[in-house]
Chains A and B, each alone.
Chain A
Amino acid sequence: GQQLNQNPQSMFIQEGEDVSMNCTSSSIFNTWLWYKQDPGEGPVLLIALYKAGELTSNGRLTAQFGITRKDSFLNISASIPSDVGIYFCAGQLIMNRDDKIIFGKGTRLHILP
């Protein structure tokens, strides 16, 4: 089935560094969602984006809905140990009779001591 390309698959960073990850697709979406999953938990919604070009922040997290509607970016500033986890993007298209949502495979964030 169709997948989003989520990059990178894995990241190793030092505490305090900024983090950037992205999702791209050949299809357009009218909603982009970013989730974070901690071990043993289900994904938790971080940011929802509903408009092309939209830039939304949630604390140290900032996400953008790409102007082409085919991509989205998530940035984390000044990373801390609790940022460790798997970050998922999801693109959703609801238009006329078309309704689909596709998840990326996740970006696993590791923070080195």
Chain B
Amino acid sequence: DTAVSQTPKYLVTQMGNDKSIKCEQNLGHDTMYWYKQDSKKFLKIMFSYNNKELIINETVPNRFSPKSPDKAHLNLHINSLELGDSAVYFCASSQDWGGGDTQYFGPGTRLTVL
């Protein structure tokens, strides 16, 4: 009965590799997000999708490409991984877009790039 799930929980990989993180929500929400949490615990929004359409695309390297096959899924693909990509990545969802609705966060994916 998990509301927002992410896989994998841990991801350790070499520089230059390509990897994907998957996110699924079973709440029937229309909006999903990807955040990056840095070592100082700050959360930076990366992308937001509303009904499978890209709404927010912050200044993120184009090595990061989100994909939303349906509104219950928002996957994050990262090409040519760099050391600075190491962080915890959170997926979240909310009923609607605009920040007025509570966001439900996933458990996070800890990415370590060696």
Contact residues of A with B, CB < 8 Å? 1, 31, 33, 35, 37-45, 48, 86, 88, 90, 99-103, 105-106, 108
Contacts of B110 in A (CB 8 A): 99
- A102 nearest in chain B by CB position: B107
Shortest distance from the beta carbon of B2 to any chain A beta carbon, whole Å: 4
Instruction: List 6 extra interface pairs beyond A37-B103, A42-B45, CB under 8 A.
Output: A35-B43, A39-B99, A40-B98, A42-B35, A86-B99, A103-B104
In the complex, number of A-B residue pairs with CB atoms less than 8 Å apart: 56
Assess the A40–B99 pair: CB atoms within 8 A: yes
Interface string of B64-91 (1 = CB under 8 A from A): 0000000000000000000000001000
Instruction: Choose among B2, B35, B41 the residue that contacts A1 (Cβ–Cβ < 8 A).
Output: B2
Instruction: Choose among A43, A86, A102 the residue that contacts B43 (Cβ–Cβ < 8 A).
Output: A43
